[in-house]
Amino acid sequence: MRALLCPGQGTQRSGMLEPWLEQRELIDRMSDAAGLDLVEYGCNADDATVTDTAIAQPLIVAVGILSNIALGAPAVDAVAGHSVGEITALQIAGVITAEQAVRLAAVRGQAMSDAAAQVQTSMSAVIGGDRTEVEAVIAASGAVLANINSAQQVVAAGTAEQLASLAENPPTRARVIPLTVAGAFHTQFMAPAVELVRAEIAQIQPADPICTVISNRDGAELRVGAEALSRIVSQITSPVHWDLCQATLSSAKALVEVAPGGVLVGLAKRELRGVPAVAITSPDDIPAAHTLLEEALA
């Protein structure tokens, strides 16, 4: 199996679009679809601005799409995306167009931003510790599991008070690290966003994917476009099970993470030892990604 990985929120940074401006006509169309000036936000905005969920999500999807085009849009066996990265994955798999993907990400991002504004919430990574104890301590704080990334990394979400309690009383041999996100994503705090995203998806006629889409809800291998697209709705209030995605990818011969890459390949190198992986952080990484994908065909 050769697979592409698509990162989610938290990977955004100022200037993230600047290395990927070659497809200017497509960028203009995606900007029109999203109702955002992607070049302005992706090249000139500061870190605080691009951390805004309504800006970060369409930018991350646009950068992922553009880096895949720069890679040559290679034929792969599977795609998987973390959180909003699943929208990038659907575009790469041919389920939706680039314009539909960035518009959907913009609608999702704005809806989640509005939901987050109702109650002050955020997320914290919990790294290390015994999994049973980690889950118990998170529950005791009042927070909930939002991402299960690996056996040694989960993400808790909740109110500022709940996350402060977790940080003050961490699990044994575990670190609690606040994340630069603006809400408790993938929890019931995001319920107000669900119908808005469902309404947007209802306007899209999806195609069946040209490769397998691995769902971040349960690691399932999806081959029907309508099902893959519908899961974008349910994931808004459901935990991301990247651990199950990695289990599905455990036999892969090559993993390439599209831009803004790094986080998912980092997890793969810790959890999927022996599986070759390359992260695309800039156009300089394209040759190594090409080579890895070609070698996996041999």
Place of tokens 């990247």: 242
Provide the edge-to-edge strand list for the sheet that holds 277-279: 221-222, 212-214, 78-81, 2-6, 254-257, 277-279
CB 143 within 8 A of CB 158: yes
Query: Residue 174's beta-bridge partner residues?
Result: 128
CA distances from 110 to 100, 186, 204 (A): 15, 15, 18
CB 112 within 8 A of CB 237: no
Alpha helices in the chain (DSSP H): 24-34, 38-39, 47-51, 53-70, 85-92, 98-118, 131-141, 160-168, 194-202, 225-234, 242-248, 263-271, 286-295
User: What number of CA atoms fall less than 13 Å from residue 283's CA on the CB side?
Assistant: 10
Torsion, Cα of 138, 140, 132, 112 (10° steps): -30
Label the pairing between strands 78-81 and 212-214.
Answer: parallel
Segment (H or E) for 176: strand 174-178
Active site residue 241: no
Catalytic residue among 113, 186, 215, 241: 186
CB 38 within 8 A of CB 61: no
Catalytic residue among 83, 113, 124, 215: 83
Active site residue 14: no
Question: What amino acid is encoded at 160 in this protein?
Answer: A
Active site residues: 83, 186
